[in-house]
Structure 1
């Protein structure tokens, strides 16, 4: 009779472990790339517990392609001095422009004509990206210190 109980218990455990599996999942592997030993039956979860399903896992949406920046402008403001010196930056209409500013004081960046602003923390770089879809000459300045960082020329 003990042999029958063992056989029935093993059959029940096997049925429980394989219930709900639509397709076989790949076996786990070790860091060296060799298959890991199969999980022992002592790790099986009793019915009615909150353990996740063996097929459950994190899901994520496919990564969307990151647009290529056509022009990157990097400016530093220290002791009210703009580096590189204020000048003009020319870009083609439709370009994606990234502006990165590091200021020694907290301030706000403003891109005129596009009405884009960016908070500038003291001592840390901050970036903004914008698609330039209007032609013309647009000043890029700081609000609190009233410094023109550069003029953006879109053609």
Structure 2
């Protein structure tokens, strides 16, 4: 997890914990001490007063680590990088990201997984390579083979 995300999650947890404290206890008489995060710096002016910052508690599920990422672009019926084979170990998590200049549909043969491809915007499909063999990854409308996925 990147340091910025870790810091943000820790700060959010701290705010949630502090908000849940018993409000019937007397408030401390001193002003709260500002805390600088590693990603930001701030300089308080002598006349500045600290005010609490409320941020919503966000539950973020960690995404599984991607073992292989394949990025393909389709423009004017040309596949970049050129069609070839992508080899992965059985059990690997593969992320396929495709940007197409026309609306289309991505299809992974053998896994029967599909993904709508909007024109001009990247779209990603995560696939657990749990079957061995050679599988074509293609577009349906334009009938282009993007690559062959080899699972060993």
Q: TM-score range by the shorter chain?
A: 0.5 to 0.7
Q: 1:82 aligns with which of 57, 79, 82?
A: 79
Q: Does 1:127 align with 2:124?
A: yes
Secondary structure at the residue paired with 1:98? strand
Q: CA deviation at 1:69?
A: 1.0
Question: What CA deviation, in whole Å up to 9, does each residue of 1:108-152 have, x standing for no partner?
Answer: 000111111111111111111111111111110000011111110
The answer for the alignment partner of 2:95 in structure 1 is 98
Q: Which consecutive aligned stretches of 4+ in structure 1 deviate over 6 angstroms post-superposition?
A: none
RMSD over aligned Cα atoms: 3.0
Change (3 A) 1:153 1:25: farther
Q: Does 1:110 align with 2:112?
A: no
The answer for the alignment partner of 1:154 in structure 2 is 151
* Aligned counterparts of 1:144 and 1:135: Cα–Cα separation in 2: 27
Q: TM-score, normalised by structure 2?
A: 0.66
Q: TM-score, normalised by structure 1?
A: 0.65
Secondary structure at the residue paired with 1:64? coil
* Aligned counterparts of 2:80 and 2:27: Cα–Cα separation in 1: 57
Look at both structures and tell me which one has the larger radius of gyration over its CA atoms: 1
* Aligned counterparts of 1:24 and 1:129: Cα–Cα separation in 2: 52
Q: Does 1:60 align with 2:58?
A: yes
Change (3 A) 1:105 1:37: closer
